[in-house]
Amino acid sequence: MAKLGDLCAAIGGKLVGPGATEIRGVASLEDAARGDVAPVDSDKFLAAARASKASAFVVSTKVDAGFRRPYVRVDHPLVAVNRIIELLGLTRPRPAPGIHPTAVVDPTARVHAEASIGPYCVVGPGATVGRGSALLSHVSIERGVVVGEECELAQGAVLHEGTRLGHRVKLGAHAVVGRPGFGYAAGPTGPVHIHHIGTVVLEDDVHVGAGTAIDRARYGVTRIARHAKIDNLVQIAHNCTVGERSFVSAQTGMAGSSQLGSDCLVGGQVGIGDHVRVGNRCGVGAQSGLTTHFPDGVDIFGYPAQEKRVAFREIVALHRLGRRTRVRGRGRREDRDAP
């Protein structure tokens, strides 16, 4: 439990109301009870805030309304609430440093004294695990893999040879990084799997969800740039790139050598074809299929995907066409809207 005034000082906000209000938890406006603080990051939540039982609020500076209960004004309320959760000790504690007795660590591996290697993990020859990083359990990292500082690899994650993680990278359960890509060539007796001798680089602050696969490059590098966030069940093929601060939603697939720029938002179940290039600051609607390149700053939608405004005009036109029917009247044919 902490006092609101102390929390306000820690997050750099502006306190309105008594700072002695005691806070023990964080909750949504609907679920909050006495002792909880709740975020209000938009005017559309004002009615819910007035009905909420929260003891205090964290309010965006863009929200212009008074509250009868104490509140803290900040520029980024959701980030501030995130910090309050940490200050109240509501997050899962990091594992203690050390190597679990059931873990298998090659003698040539370099594991920092402040790293944590959990139960049944395997750390291969020449691999590196940096300061403060944690392999939770059943994690396997192969020969020469580099894991930077303050990383967290969840249960069952696999890093194949040739993978390099920057600092503060997070991998979800059963994520697989660095497996040889899906490449075959016709041979005299059938398909031959093409060797992939490149690498995978996940730069600083990349987050990868559970069950996601990121393949090793055929030659060169498959690269996920800093601060990119990859959801659960995403497939990123060999030699792909994902730009800085881009978000890729669940069940999206990027085919070999496709490129996604920086600051992009990709919806769920999107397919990006091989060698397709998407520029910076693009938004891609859910279930879109991209078969051609797109420049910077474009909203993309549909299959085959095109600029969203064009796609929506075509959808409206098709909808209208589907409603029209031919009728015969007064000896001539005419079109009219069907009832």
CB 213 within 8 A of CB 229: no
Is the same domain home to 122 and 160? Answer: yes
C-alpha pair distances (Å), 21 with each of 115, 229, 294:
38, 36, 52
- 3-class SS letters over 206-239: CEECCCCEEEECCCCEEEECCCCEECCCCEECCC
Residue 318 in domain: no
pLDDT attached to residue 124: 98
pLDDT attached to residue 326: 46
Could you confirm whether 193 is annotated as catalytic? no
pLDDT attached to residue 51: 94
pLDDT attached to residue 324: 67
CB 117 within 8 A of CB 137: no
- The structure tokens listed for 295 are 């420049």
Selected catalytic residue, list 238, 275, 293, 319 = 238
Which run of H or E residues covers position 285?
none
Is the same domain home to 242 and 146? Answer: yes
Is the same domain home to 154 and 292? Answer: yes
Is the same domain home to 197 and 258? Answer: yes
C-alpha pair distances (Å), 199 with each of 46, 126, 177, 206, 284:
49, 16, 10, 16, 27
Reading the chain (339 residues) residue by residue, the pLDDT tens digits are 899 999 999 999 999 999 999 999 999 999 999 999 999 999 999 999 999 999 999 999 999 877 889 999 999 999 999 999 999 999 988 899 999 999 999 999 999 999 999 999 999 999 999 999 999 999 999 999 999 999 999 999 999 999 999 999 999 999 999 999 999 999 999 999 999 999 999 999 999 999 999 999 999 999 999 999 999 999 999 999 999 999 999 999 999 999 999 999 999 999 999 999 999 999 999 999 999 999 999 999 999 999 999 999 988 888 888 776 544 444 454 455 544
Backbone φ and ψ of 23, nearest 5°: -120, 130
Distance CA 169, CA 141 (A): 14
Is the same domain home to 172 and 210? Answer: yes
CATH number at residue 227: 2.160.10.10
pTM of the prediction? Answer: 0.88
| Residue 273: closest CA among 247, 293, 248, 251 | 293
CB 113 within 8 A of CB 132: no
Distance CA 148, CA 152 (A): 10
Number of helices and strands in the chain (H, E): 4, 42
Residue 328 in domain: no
Residue 56's domain comprises 2-87
C-alpha pair distances (Å), 108 with each of 2, 143, 145, 167, 254:
46, 10, 12, 22, 35
Is the same domain home to 228 and 284? Answer: yes
Q: Which residue has the tokens 């594991």?
A: 111
